[in-house]
């Protein structure tokens, strides 16, 4: 809402999904959302890729 509020005339109610497996992207829940994505197969694979890139650039593995 903060980033796009100037584009719209009306406010949009915050969405609360009925099924908790679905996530709503909200800036006020950034830490919770990032923790969720870090535990998905995509997030785990992304960490592996980041480590490989750091190793290729710096010559040694570095912690995330």
Range of the domain at 33: 5-58
25 domain residue, yes or no: yes
Q: What is the three-state SS of the chain?
A: CCCCHHHCCCCCCCCCCCCCCCCCCCHHHHHHHHHHHHCCHHHHHHHHHHHHHHHHHHCCCCCC
Q: Are 17 and 24 in contact (CB under 8 A)?
A: yes
In a domain, 36, yes or no: yes
Backbone φ and ψ for 62, nearest 5 degrees, come out as -125, 145
Q: How many domains does the chain have?
A: 1
Q: How far apart are CA 10 and CA 15, in angstroms?
A: 15
Report pTM: 0.51
| Residue 11 is assigned to a structural domain of this protein | yes
pLDDT tens digit at each of 64 positions of the chain: 456 667 777 777 777 888 888 888 888 888 988 898 899 999 999 999 999 998 888 876 656 5
């Amino acid at each position: 809402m903060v980033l796009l509020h100037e584009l719209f005339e009306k406010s949009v109610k915050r969405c609360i999904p009925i099924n908790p497996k679905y996530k709503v992207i909200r800036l006020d829940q950034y830490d919770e959302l990032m923790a969720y994505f870090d535990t998905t197969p995509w997030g785990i694979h992304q960490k592996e890729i980041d480590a490989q890139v750091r190793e290729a650039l710096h010559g040694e593995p570095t912690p995330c």
